[in-house]
A and B are shown apart, each in its own frame.
Chain A
Amino acid sequence: MVYKIQGDFNDDNFEKIITKLAQKCIFIYVIDTMYVSLKSIDYLDGGDAFIKSVFKPVKSFLITKINEKNILKEDFVTGNWCKDQFVRLEKQLYEKNEQDKLKATWQAMDKMEEELEKIKLQKDFERKEDN
């Protein structure tokens, strides 16, 4: 979710790279190192491929995924930035899962109401026929 990209960014395409990167990511740049985080948890699938494709024009680069172990190696400022990104994305993930559960409940209630409506209609119909 959060990537550390080290490489030689002195390239004419750098502006293009940043423009493309900004579509799905937010980032900070610290002396030949770029810290990139996904804008939204929706981009999680295919995130790795996207980052790789964006940095393809750069001659040589190294992508490291920041995780709970190697985040301690970062300095105070970048480490804090990465931590904030983790918290932000985790919150998004939690919200998404909650929303999925609520949606499933909502859909199940749709089905249930449909079935109950049928029974109700049948009973109403039978009552009218009797009258």
Chain B
Amino acid sequence: MADEVKRKRGRPKKVDTPTPIANEEKEQTIMSANKPTYQEIKEGVGTVKSVPQNITLDAIQARWRNVFGKYATLGFDSIMEKWSTSNNPYLSNPFIQNERVKKISSPALKVGKDTLQDAMSNPLAHESTLRSFSMYLYYNNFIYQTLIRLNRDTPMYNYYYYPLYDVDKKEDIKKESALIDKALKEFDVKLTLKTMASQVYQEGKCSYLTRLSFNKDKVNYFHPQKLDSEQIKVVGFGTKQQFIISFNMVIFLDPAYDTKLYPKFIQDTWDEMNKLGIISTDKKGKLKLNPKANLPANHMLEFDSNGKYMYWVRLPQDMCYTFYSDGSHPNVFPDTIGLFNDLNDLDDYRWLQGNLLSKGVNSVLTAEVPLVKDPKAGGDSTAISPDTVLGFQDFFAQNISANIFPFFAPFTKFDLHTLENQPESMNIIYSRIRDLIATSGNSALLPITDKPSIASVKAAESIQASKNDYLTRQFETYLNHVINESLGLKYKWHVSLWGDIFYWRDDAKMMKDFIANGGMTGLLPRLLSANDQTLEDYKGAKLYLDILEIELDNKNPNEEANPVGRPKLNDNDIENDNTGTSNDLGNNVSEIKLSANTNIRYCCKCHSELQDHEDILCDNCLEEAYNERLSDT
């Protein structure tokens, strides 16, 4: 911008240079009042034009003549390029756009056993195949989907934020706090991060562009834009995040794509490619790539296996973030590939079970075909021709569905062999699924047989929560980076994400105790976030109550006057199997024990404990008394 304005004497005012990618539509400060800048002129161009009511073909032709005359200096190529992008019917075609949108994830593809084995034996060279198979399983196999969704649903993504370091000016903090609140609400933290987690666990690694726009104290939008899985490549390790990726710009030759759907960096890169002649327009107005053109730094051209061009452009770390389920390797495939063989075999088991159920093969009938009187070696000496034998065989096979079927044929030595133990076909697929879930390490969280022990469930919960925390920490770093680097804040802020479905209640309870007993009020934002509130929400809700003049009675109605004995444990707090059993049976509370003690009645004769239906005498004594009475009479 400094080049565009008239220079003044003296030291220029300090102006914060805006991050160009982060805020796409941020208003730029214009330092000169006299001379209009190019930016100002450019803004004035895009005014809304009204379309005339009745347009004739002549009017269109006249306009074309005018365009060619007016913009002749720009060259025919420029006019045709702008015409092809402006008159792009593909952008409004729902079928083509639907195809484009579907490419956001790897295409689901079922592969044969051999192909899968090849891919598994050399996974580094088969990333795409493994991703595609993962998507296929996600759509088709409910167990696989459940395992993936477990990772999506475990974290709570409760969030809160606070300023760090030299915090002094109240007004600034208030303003910045409100702006961050608006930004995070616009991002819709919980929903967006859960969706992203699902995508990451499906494919192993996913890259997103940050789309953020704000004006002073208003956030227009803030959301991540996922890049097509097949169009990105991990190309390095970064300083601000683990991985750096390159993006395949050739997709913009596809008319369904448009650079306008992407951030400014992509648009500028595309314009640069046009200027350098890497992209040109042929006579028909079709875009094509010129492989002989000189490439700028960080750009790379290569062929894929189908002979198509791929044009890789390295994306800045500030703009594109890559999240991963496992950052210890740069390969883009899911962690679950170890289950692929088992999951693929599941279909075979299902087929086996289906076959056994439908045909019920448990008996075989055999017979001999009689020979002629003087059979000789070297020729067919059977008394019945092979065609007739096949005919009888088909005839038999067609009629065995009946319970008892008489079968007559000119064969000898009929013999029926029956299996003593018919296989329990119903259990085949069930057992296989059980084994599969056990292999995946989730038998405690997804119990399908006996009740697992509480200890194993607790261990599984901890492992699962810790596993998902790995991704939560990446999301936290990402949000902190965007909030601090792109919103133009004066102070340094920290956004914190926490909570999982297993232990968030414990954490909330602990914080409540800390605040109530220890006076650690600094934990209040975290405690409020457990109840889906930020400090701004709390402030608003409190003001709302004041306005409506609602006063709360501070006495807690649930509080007992003199609670006696140890309070009952919550289901989540039970860590002992015996306590769990008594909890299940319902005899772990004192009221039940008390009532049970008072209600015990004994037989007047034998002093044994009476059942519910018995009264005074037990059944045995009553029968004896009855018999005695009969014999007396």
Interface residues of A (CB under 8 A from B): 99, 102-103, 105-123, 125, 129
Contact = CB atoms under 8 A, between A and B. Distances in A.
B365 interface: no
A102 B41 CA distance: 29
A123 B64 CA distance: 22
A103 B85 CA distance: 17
B49 A110 contact: yes
Contacts of B79: 112, 116
A113 B54 CA distance: 20
Nearest to B88: A108
A22 B41 CA distance: 53
7 contacts: A105-B87, A111-B87, A116-B67, A116-B71, A116-B74, A120-B71, A125-B38
A112 B60 contact: no
Contacts of B41: 121, 125
B38 A121 contact: yes
**Cβ-closest 8 pairs across A and B:** A111-B86, A108-B87, A112-B86, A102-B55, A125-B38, A115-B82, A112-B82, A108-B86
Nearest to B83: A112
A99 B38 contact: no
A56 B610 CA distance: 78
Contacts of B55: 99, 102-103, 105-106
B45 A105 contact: no
Contact of B85 (A113, A115, A129): A115
B307 interface: no
B56 interface: yes
A105 B83 CA distance: 10
Contacts of B86: 108-109, 111-112, 115
Nearest to A111: B86
For the complex, would chain B's binding face be called helix, strand, loop or mixed by DSSP majority? helix
A129 B6 CA distance: 11
Contacts of A106: 51-52, 55, 60, 63
B67 A119 contact: no
A120 B64 CA distance: 17
Nearest to A121: B41
Interface residues of B, number: 28
B308 interface: no
A129 B314 CA distance: 32
Given A102-B60, A105-B87, A109-B63, 18 more contacts: A102-B55, A102-B57, A103-B55, A106-B63, A107-B51, A108-B86, A109-B60, A109-B87, A110-B49, A111-B86, A112-B87, A115-B82, A115-B85, A115-B86, A116-B67, A116-B78, A116-B79, A116-B82
Contacts of A107: 51
Contacts of A105: 55, 60, 87
B42 interface: yes
A117 B86 CA distance: 13
B586 interface: no
Contact of A122 (B38, B57, B64, B82): B38
A109 B67 contact: yes
A95 to B, nearest CB: 10
B276 to A, nearest CB: 16
Contact of B78 (A110, A119, A125): A119
Nearest to A126: B38
A120 B73 CA distance: 9
Contacts of B78: 116, 119
A120 to B, nearest CB: 6
A80 B49 CA distance: 45
B46 interface: yes
B236 to A, nearest CB: 34
Contacts of A102: 55-57, 60
B3 to A, nearest CB: 8
B67 A114 contact: no
A29 B85 CA distance: 54
A122 B42 CA distance: 8
Contacts of B71: 116, 120
Contacts of B45: 114, 117-118, 121
Interface in B49-97: 49, 51-52, 54-57, 60, 63-64, 67, 70-71, 73-74, 78-79, 82-83, 85-87
B67 to A, nearest CB: 7
Interface in B16-54: 38, 41-42, 45-46, 49, 51-52, 54
A117 B46 CA distance: 10
A107 B64 CA distance: 13
B30 to A, nearest CB: 14
Contacts of A110: 49, 51
